[in-house]
Amino acid sequence: MGQHVNYSKTKERWFVHYEIIRNKKTIASDNVYAKKKGPELDWPKRPNKEQKEYLRKNSYLPSDKDVDAMKVRLNNEVASRGSTYETNDKITIAQLCDMFMDKANLGRVTTRRIYKSNIRYYIKPCLGHIRIKELSPRHQDDLMRYVEKHIVYKPISHKPVLLSQVKKIDPKATERKPRSTARVLQNLKLILDRSFLPESVDDGLGLIPYNPWSGLPIPKVLKKKLIRHKKAVQDNKIYLKPEQIKAIINNFGNSIYKFPTILLAETGMREGEVLGLKWKDFDEEEKTIFVRREVVKQEDEEGREYYSTEDINDGIDELAKALSTGKIYLSDTSIKILKKQKDFQSKKYAVNEIIKSLENNKSLKINRVIDDEDYVFTNIKTGHLLRPNGIYKQFKRAVARAKANSSFDIPTDVHPHDLRSAQASLLHKKGYSLKDISNRLRHSQIETTANIYTILTEESKREIAEGGSIFDDTDI
């Protein structure tokens, strides 16, 4: 429970604000005003005991009877709801976001982390104080401008900071990508949509009586930026060629991330999916592997980050095997890599056990992950899962070495996910259909594959033009 005395400049009256708090969240609140107008005194925002007594003596405060009546009414409202997180038209955006995160099933841990971050750094600071009934289309423009003005600039902070502040240090700094801005707006729209839908409907939560943003399109300015950004991405899309990929892999040295990266290139899997593989997912006889989980970044209750696996199709193995979307057929190269990894893992694990028995060193942590969880790729010394950002760092180092040591022209701004696009490029050049490529990459929507396919088709047209040329430079 919380009760405070404040002054309203618009009403020129002192009032008592009362709120009911459960699990650190305000679930009901209201104000009761004094009947008599009062002066705005040169006091702190919340008066102390003596100052309250002065206000009471001069009838500048609401009566105790009116305050008690408000308390009884709010407590009865909460009791009649039957749920701590049901609410009324007084709810603010910040309260709704808290309730939504408590009740909504957002599926993947990564999705939940994105919502949590966008709510914390953008939605709450910009619109958190706005009541649902006061929310209007102009607030969407306010949120868009707020997001665009804040970027993550790691030399200053891992949290978003003002773009104007960053420009003082780095004049070349630019505003956020329009796709990131659009994602924040879409997050809030989905929160409003699902909070309005009744609980009887799939994904409905029934938290608010109406949705003030129902059918509201994204701002036209942002839509134009998205179109320009999409075209720029397509124009600058990098498709690594097999010889470039080989040059990069050859510069990994003896890194523990070398084999996972080769598997990325061979299968088109995502970084987190490769690192989440277990040996039970691998069927050498059928030459297949099943994608059931992925390594993702998570946060504990104190906000500290750590890495863990999130199940995709895990649990009942028979169910996962029935899902073709999780099944990947392996090349002979992939099978050879997995066999090498198994052999390497077994030898290293045995050596560590011998060291432990000889030295009886309790501080030496043998990799129980391998012994108990059966993961394919782990850090043998620490027992920890390998991190997706570890692949990224090793990949960038290998790219730098490859540029220095090989004759191939390798773009500097490539990253591991480009290996997934390279798989699509290779399959396209070998004549496989859009559907085959989509199944291989396990895209949830074929439109995602079609976007890649369109760029590849344009590239093919250029190659065809050159291939159909009769004359060469010496003839002209």
Q: Of 182, 200, 235, at which residue does a domain stop?
A: 235
Supply the range of the domain harboring residue 472.
Answer: 238-476
Q: Is residue 136 part of a domain?
A: yes
In a shared domain, residues 167 and 103: yes
Instruction: Report pLDDT for 248.
Output: 92
CATH, residue 422: 1.10.443.10
Q: Of 209, 235, 261, at which residue does a domain stop?
A: 235
CA 163 to CA 153: how far, in whole Å? 9
pLDDT tens track for 53-100: 888 888 888 998 999 998 898 888 777 654 444 455 578 898 899 889
The tokens of 82 are what?
């039957």
Task: Give Cβ neighbours of residue 226 (< 8 Å, ≥ 6 apart).
Answer: 178, 179, 182, 218
In a shared domain, residues 224 and 371: no
Q: Kindly give the parts of the chain with pLDDT less than 70.
A: 1, 23-26, 43-46, 80-89, 233-234, 299-307, 309-325, 348-373, 451-476
In a shared domain, residues 199 and 330: no
In a shared domain, residues 315 and 447: yes
Task: Give Cβ neighbours of residue 81 (< 8 Å, ≥ 6 apart).
Answer: 87
Task: Give Cβ neighbours of residue 181 (< 8 Å, ≥ 6 apart).
Answer: 144, 147, 148, 222, 225
Domains in the chain, number: 3
In a shared domain, residues 137 and 113: yes
Q: Which of 247, 216, 198 is nearest to 402 (CA)?
A: 247
In a shared domain, residues 231 and 246: no
CATH, residue 218: 1.10.150.130
Query: pTM value?
Result: 0.62
Task: Give Cβ neighbours of residue 294 (< 8 Å, ≥ 6 apart).
Answer: 270, 272, 273, 275, 276, 309, 310, 312
Instruction: Report pLDDT for 303.
Output: 59
In a shared domain, residues 70 and 157: no
In a shared domain, residues 97 and 229: yes
Q: Is residue 296 part of a domain?
A: yes
Instruction: Report pLDDT for 185.
Output: 94
Q: Which of 54, 50, 16 is nearest to 34 (CA)?
A: 16
CB–CB of 199/206 below 8 Å? yes
Q: Which of 166, 126, 164 is nearest to 145 (CA)?
A: 126
In a shared domain, residues 266 and 351: yes
- Residue in the block written with tokens 């694990």: 349
In a shared domain, residues 411 and 350: yes
Q: Of 174, 206, 235, at which residue does a domain stop?
A: 235
In a shared domain, residues 373 and 289: yes
Q: Is residue 86 part of a domain?
A: no
DSSP state of 279: G
Sign of CA dihedral 283, 289, 292, 297: positive
CA 143 to CA 216: how far, in whole Å? 14
